[in-house]
Amino acid sequence: MRATMEYQILKTSTCLLVLLFFIPTVLGICPSSCTCSGNDRNVDCSGRNLTILPHGLQDNITYLNLSFNQFLDLDHQLTRFTNLRTLDISNNWLKNVPAHLPKSLWELYAINNNIKVLQKLDTAYQWNLRVLDVSRNMVERAVLINNTLSSLKFLNLSSNKLWTVPTNMPYNIETVDLSNNFLSQILPGTLLRLHHLSSLYLHNNKFTSIPDKAFDQLLQLQVVTLYNNPWACSDQQNILYLLRWVQETAAHVVGAPCAKATPTPGTGSSLLIKGMKAAFPVATEPSEMTKMHKQLRAKEVPSLATFSQSLLFTSTERPLLLHPEELSTGQAGSQAGSQEAAATHTFYIKDPAELYSSLTPSAGSSTTPMTLSITSGMPTNYSKMPQSTTATLRKEESTTNILNTHVPSKARISEMSLVCVVMLNAVAMFTG
């Protein structure tokens, strides 16, 4: 009987020990310096000034946030979390990616640390890793192994100190952010097998050109950023490939290199002669103006209506349209949507004859100024219609021609005076 009781006590004690061992895992334990959710498997220990891992972390946690702390080293300390999916170690003082991270990781965020080199062993066994963000560090060299990061879709190495685009990037990668570095070259074959790449960010770097055929295999590319790079636009031999690729690609290029700045037409009431020459280089040359002036003289236009040396061209209609080659695609679409076949400007030139109006009778006269109409030939469907820039000049006739007013000449006055003298002599002889 006594043996039976001892057996029951031993059995009960064993069960209690087993329960005490498994209860923390089943019920979950949250460290006092962290907040937990999801049966204590999602642990947030951010912003606690931690220098070592908090005690009481379960081995089966799936989410761990250690950001905004003061960790200097986490090597070999996270290996036991074999179910961990997301690890955030951003904004610490880490000098390298922690060694021997669990192979279960899907997302790794190591933003804003002191990491200088991304070693191949840092990611060598991360077959499940999908997101790797090591932005805002001091990475000068990134060594990747493409056949081990087979699941990686997003790679962010922006705001580092890279000089060369990292080689051996995973073949299935979709987004690569290399902006805000010191990149100046792409080694041959670097982007050759990235057939799934859809977003490539290269802005704010030191590129002057792109090697021939570097982008040719990026068949799924949808967005590429190229702005804020010192492109060597004058070096036609090296920049030519990139310019052609930008024109032919179906991807959206943000910040196309060597794009000409399109001037904005003036909206004021006065247009400078310089602006007119930029829009109509043929019609406003002095030689052409001289030819028009000679044509006017040939048509017996009175000398009083010649051109003045200082004229103010006043716009009376809508702004001039630029030539199609000076318009970018977006500007052309926004301006030409509701435009007519061509834009016409009429300029009124004050007739200098009015300066001499005090010398001739002005009663009943109404002088109409000379008008100069310039038509810019950029129709809405300019691709189907030839360009033309024409200038027409006409002199609207005055309602009263002041030059037809009869003014007696000196010979006529002398003749009339002689007749009067003869008539007076005849009268004197008749009366005498």
pLDDT at 146: 81
Structure tokens at 309: 């040396």
- Angle formed at CA 19 by CA 14 and CA 20, multiple of 5 degrees: 95
- With tokens 């400078």, the residue in question is 272
Please state, in angstroms and rounded to a whole number, the distance separating the CA atoms of residues 120 and 143: 5
pLDDT at 154: 98
pLDDT at 430: 61
Q: What is the mean pLDDT of the chain?
A: 72
pLDDT tens-digit profile of 100-146?
999 999 999 999 999 999 998 899 889 999 999 999 999 999 999 88
pLDDT at 413: 67
pLDDT at 377: 42
pLDDT tens-digit profile of 167-178?
999 999 999 999
Structure tokens at 155: 């790679």
Give the long-range contacts of residues 296-302, CB within 8 A, separation 24 or more.
296/393, 296/395, 301/395, 302/353, 302/403
pLDDT at 309: 40
How crowded is the C-beta side of 425, counted as CA atoms within 13 Å?
Answer: 6
Reading phi first (left if > 0) and then psi (alpha if -120 to 50, else beta), residue 115 is in beta
Cross-strand pairs, 339: none
Spans in the chain with pLDDT lower than 70: 1-28, 260-415, 419, 427-432
Please state, in angstroms and rounded to a whole number, the distance separating the CA atoms of residues 32 and 49: 14
Please state, in angstroms and rounded to a whole number, the distance separating the CA atoms of residues 364 and 367: 10
pLDDT at 218: 96
pLDDT at 357: 45
Whether the CB-CB separation of 158 and 181 falls below 8 Å is answered with: yes
pLDDT at 115: 97
Backbone CA torsion sign across 384, 386, 389, 391: negative
* Closest by CA position to 162, among listed 218, 201, 107: 201
